[in-house]
Structures are given as C-alpha cells and as structure tokens.
Amino acid sequence: MKFLVFSVIFVLATLQGALAVVISSPTTQYEVNQPLGHGTYGTVYHVTEKTTGQVYALKEFQDSPLYCRCGRTEARLLRLLNQNGAPVPKLIESFENGDQCHLVLQFMSKNLLQYQREQSSNNHRLSLPEIRIVARNTLLALQVLHSNGYIHSDIKPENIMVDDSETFDVKVIDLGSARHVAHNQYYDLQTLHYRSPEVLLHQPYTPAIDIWSLGLMLFELATGYYPSFSFDSDTPMQQLNNIGNVFYPDQKEILRELDHLLLDENTLPKDLPFRLTQIANLLFSTQPNFVAFIPAFFESIEDTPPSNALLHLITQMLMPNPANRISAEKALKHVFLADPDN
Ligand SMILES: Nc1ncnc2c1ncn2[C@@H]1O[C@H](COP(=O)(O)OP(=O)(O)OP(=O)(O)O)[C@@H](O)[C@H]1O
Ligand SMILES: [Mg+2]
C-alpha cells in the first residue's frame, strides 16, 4: 500500500514536472504557477525562479512589435520610478524573446479592487488610515512621473496593488499605457469610468487627468461605491452627462448642451469638435457645485466619523476644469496627508 501511494505521488510529480511551463530569461528560468491577471497588454503570471525558489509576478506582453514597445516603455518607467524610490513594484529584470516582451516584478498579493471587494463587513469601504496610504503612495508615484513629463493615463483600482500580509503597503502598476505630455493628441486613453472631462471633451490634456481618476477612486474607497453617485456609463457622451448632472445640477445651459450631444451621438455630426470645444469653454468657466456630491459622501459613511479633510482633498482632485485641479505635488502637502488626525 505504502509503495502504491509513493508511486502515485512520484508519477503525479513527474507529470507535473513534465507539464510545467517554463519561461527562460537570458540569466535564469521561471516556472509558471498560475495566471494572476489578463489585460489588453498580455498576461501576468505568478512564477517561481528555479534556482532560488523566489516568487515573482511575470508580465508577458502580447507577441507583437507594438505591444513590445509598450513593454519597453513600462520597463523604462519602472526603472525611473525604482531609482527615485517611488512606490511601484521592483523591476527584477526585463527581456525579449523575438517580439515578445517580459517584465519580472516584485510580487504583490492583490489589486485594490480585489481588496475592496473583500471589505464586505464594512460596505466595501476602506478605513481612513488605509485611504491615506493609497492616496499618498499613488501621489508619490504620480509626482515622479508628472515631474518627468509622463502621464500614467490609467489610474484605477485594478492598477493599484496592495500587500496586506504584514503592514498595509500600496504600489502603482501598469505603466504600459503611460505617455509623454508631448504626445497628447490622442483620446483613446483612460478607462471610461475614470476618464477626465478634458479627455471626454477632446481638449488638450496634461498630467492632471491622473488626478481626476485618483479623486474618483478615493471617493469610491471612502464611500464603498456610493450607488446614486456613479459615473458608470457605456459611452463617453453618457459619461459627460453624468459628470454634468453631478457637478452642475443647477446649470440649465450646460445640462441642455450635454443632453443634445447625447441625442446627436449616433448621427456623428461633422461639427462635433466645435461643439465639444464650446461645451468645454462653458464647463470650465463655471464653478462646479458640490451639492449632490457632499451629501453623498457623508450619507454613505454615517456610522464612522467622516473626514472633512479627505472630502476637501477629493473635491480639489475632482475640479472639472484641469487648471483648477490640485497637482500631485500640492496634494501631497494637503492637510489630510500631512496630519494623520484629519
Ligand atoms: N506585481 C504584481 N504582483 C501581483 N499581481 C500583479 C502584479 N502586476 C500585475 N498583477 C495582476 O495582473 C493584473 C494585470 O496587470 P497589468 O494592469 O499590469 O496588465 P495589463 O495587461 O496592462 O492590464 P489592463 O490592460 O487590464 O490594464 C493586475 O490587475 C493584477 O491583478
Ligand atoms: Mg491594468
């Protein structure tokens, strides 16, 4: 009987060994354990380095020159951020097999969306100390990127990693779609839910678009995705309407223009760029009114002491006019981050 059990384990182990997928770099080999995430750019795997047994996350980009270029950008920016001590995973090595780019990264236990989903006993809200760490670390990474002329361009919970095994640590990932400010003529950036008004309105944009996404994300972490205050839409025009309804509830002209734009959406009018610029001028010259926003914030956290300082920081990040939006550098000095009692 003992012999039989031993034989079965041996056969299984041999089979597993034979089936194990290995990715080779110029210096070592990584055994693939399981996929951690799959996105536009490729797949991220949990891997074990064969000689040391150390575990890492290995991001394998799609096998094409275009995606390989994104991989090289991500590796270059990760090195820049690592050198500056910014909170991003350590880049262990990067290598290419033909047109396929690979990045070996410090492993982090889960992304922020997964972490938020786990907080079901607290209505999917994070605590104030946790929100402070998310805000500070994301801003620290953005500050290095922005001061070097780069925009992350996809700040959202799936692109923020959390390690809660000992302390609560937070790092920014996914720099594959980061771009230099000089290349700001394309509008196919940012996940729709976190897309800034200037990108939706096809206006020139700056690193301030990352701050908009962060402001919305912090609001959702604090309120647990407050149901009646959601920007979730299927199209950019719907998204613009939602932003209008939340921030300009008493501005009839803005709401009428946005509504007409939504109605005309399927006819694709030739004068769309002109109309978008007109609406941008109107929107950006009108002070937003946070009447819907502020009660939403406080109602959702009635059982915990609400933080005025956090609400103030979020509203500064969610200024529809990018010129009035707080910068990463200034936000890091905001009272919510500077003073843990706020
Ligand atoms: N260092 C890491 N440690 C652990 N898991 C990771 C790490 N990096 C990425 N992941 C997981 O893989 C997922 C996808 O990673 P990433 O965002 O870098 O890839 P992507 O292909 O650019 O994704 P998308 O196109 O969806 O934005 C992350 O949301 C996360 O769950
Ligand atoms: Mg991603």
pLDDT in tens, the chain (342 residues): 444 443 433 344 444 445 689 999 999 999 999 999 988 889 999 999 999 999 999 999 999 999 999 999 999 999 999 999 999 999 999 999 999 999 999 999 999 999 999 998 888 999 999 999 999 999 999 999 999 999 999 999 999 999 998 899 999 999 988 999 998 778 889 999 999 999 999 999 999 999 999 999 999 999 887 777 778 888 999 999 999 999 999 999 999 999 998 887 777 677 888 999 999 999 999 999 987 778 777 777 666 666 889 999 999 999 999 999 999 999 999 999 987 776
Return the CATH fold of 8-106: Phosphorylase Kinase; domain 1 (3.30.200)
Q: Select which of 63, 154, 264, 271 is catalytic.
A: 154
Res 13: pLDDT: 44
What pLDDT score does 197 carry?
Answer: 97
Give the pocket of ligand 1 (CB within 6 Å).
36-37, 39-42, 44, 57, 59, 89, 105-108, 111, 154, 158-159, 161, 173-174, 176
Query: What local confidence, expressed as pLDDT, does residue 7 receive?
Result: 41
**Ligand 1 mean position to 293 CA, how many Å?**
31
Distance 85 CA to ligand 1 centre (A): 20
> Rounded to an integer, what distance in angstroms lies between the CA atom of residue 160 and that of residue 220?
14
Confidence (pLDDT) at 14:
44
Query: 247 C-alpha to center of ligand 2: Å?
Result: 28
- How high is the pLDDT of residue 15? 45
Residue nearest to atom 4 of ligand 1 (CA): 108
Length of the chain: 342
Q: What is the pLDDT of residue 268?
A: 66
pLDDT of residue 49: 98
| 154 catalytically annotated | yes
> CATH 1.10.510.10 spans which residues of the chain?
110-338
CATH architecture of 110-338: Orthogonal Bundle (1.10)
pLDDT value at position 19?
67
Ligand 1, pocket-test mutation among 59, 62, 93, most atoms within 8 A of CB = 59
Domain(s) labelled CATH 3.30.200.20 in the chain stretch across: 8-106
Give the pLDDT confidence score for residue 18 in this predicted structure: 52
Look at residue 305 in the predicted model and tell me its pLDDT: 62
